[in-house]
């Protein structure tokens, strides 16, 4: 991603969860390329270590930790030893395929634990420091499934609607503090996770074409395109943006 002076993040620190691959990796790399010191969080220690090493090799500044975002005690203990960041990107998330009849209460709880309690845990641990300082940008990764219903994704859609609602509620509660809360709602993004799921279909090429066709521009998004949205929301250029859902879906939701 080109280094634009409009979105410089010099002297800012950022935490990005789910940064071991895909969207989280792209966001971490974009923030670092624009001057932020980044700390990467992921359950996959080798993956997140490799991403951090790549950023450092490119002249950026990155550290990393292996952490389960759904573990509130672990998040609180980890945050107690970390300085308050300027930017918090809650990207870690998981998915589930199934309608109501193919979704158990355990499935719903598992997605809620990661997709909803994960961002809540990090906000609960780090936002008080932002409030005390009087500045900060919190970016929660939701989904197109947080603004429109998705077929065969009842647990996932439920969790992402919750992320959007939580983001708006936090923005309202802290509207005059200098701390901003926004959500990004991507459509389908060509991540390693999605490509692995496509490979499981009987006809992967047909599945790829079908998934691409749901977006009006006829293609999947690239992780770097979601990272560009995060970079904007993280920067001072978005000082007037809070409580918003930035939709990056290739037009999928235009007619909904």
pLDDT at 255: 74
State the Cα–Cα distance between residues 150 and 99, nearest whole angstrom.
Answer: 10
pLDDT at 36: 98
Q: Which two tokens stand for residue 188?
A: 């389908």
pLDDT at 195: 86
pLDDT surpassing 60 at residue 231 = yes
3-state SS, residue 86:
coil
Q: Quickly list DSSP for 109-140.
A: HHHIIIIIHHHHHHHHHHHHHHHHHT-EEEEE
Q: Quickly list DSSP for 208-253.
A: HHHHHHTSTTSSPBPHHHHHHHHHHHHSGGGTT--S-EEEESTTTT
pTM for this structure? 0.95
pLDDT at 5: 67
Q: What is the pLDDT of residues 29-69, one digit of tens each?
A: 999 999 999 999 999 999 999 999 999 999 999 999 999 99
Q: What are phi and psi of 202, to 5 degrees?
A: -60, -35
pLDDT at 254: 87
pLDDT surpassing 60 at residue 2 = no
pLDDT surpassing 80 at residue 256 = no
Catalytic residue list contains 64: no
Active-site annotation holder among 156, 201, 208, 232: 156
State the Cα–Cα distance between residues 154 and 16, nearest whole angstrom.
Answer: 26
pLDDT at 102: 97
Averaged pLDDT of the chain? 95
- Which residue in 28, 69, 32 sits closest to 48, CA to CA? 28
CATH 3.40.50.720: which residues of the chain? 5-186+222-242
CATH of domain 5-186+222-242: 3.40.50.720
Instruction: Map 18-30 to HEC letters.
Output: CCCCHHHHHHHHH
pLDDT surpassing 70 at residue 168 = yes
Q: Which two tokens stand for residue 46?
A: 């080798």
pLDDT surpassing 80 at residue 149 = yes
- Which residue in 231, 236, 156, 234 sits closest to 188, CA to CA? 156
């Amino acid at each position: 991603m080109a280094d634009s002076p409009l979105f410089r993040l010099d002297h800012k620190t950022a935490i990005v969860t789910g940064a071991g691959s895909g969207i989280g990796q792209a966001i971490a790399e974009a923030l670092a390329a624009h001057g932020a010191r980044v700390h990467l969080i992921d359950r996959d220690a080798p993956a997140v270590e490799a991403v951090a090493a790549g950023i450092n090799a490119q002249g950026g500044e990155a550290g990393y930790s292996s952490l389960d975002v759904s573990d509130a005690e672990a998040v609180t203990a980890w945050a107690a030893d970390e300085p308050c960041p300027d930017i918090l990107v809650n990207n870690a998330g998981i998915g589930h395929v199934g309608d109501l009849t193919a979704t158990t209460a355990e499935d719903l709880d598992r997605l809620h634990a990661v997709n909803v309690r994960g961002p809540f845990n990090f906000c609960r641990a780090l936002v008080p420091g932002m409030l005390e300082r009087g500045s900060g940008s919190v970016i929660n990764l939701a989904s197109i499934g947080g603004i429109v219903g998705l077929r065969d994704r009842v647990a996932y859609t439920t969790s992402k609607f919750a992320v959007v609602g939580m983001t708006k509620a936090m923005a309202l509660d802290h509207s005059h503090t200098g701390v901003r809360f926004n959500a990004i709602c991507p459509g389908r993004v060509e991540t390693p996770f999605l490509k692995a799921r496509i490979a499981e279909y009987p006809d992967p090429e047909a599945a790829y074409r079908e998934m691409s066709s749901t977006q009006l521009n006829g293609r999947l998004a690239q992780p770097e395109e979601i990272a560009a949205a995060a970079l904007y929301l993280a920067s001072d250029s978005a000082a007037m943006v809070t409580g918003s859902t930035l939709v990056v879906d290739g037009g999928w939701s235009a007619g909904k």
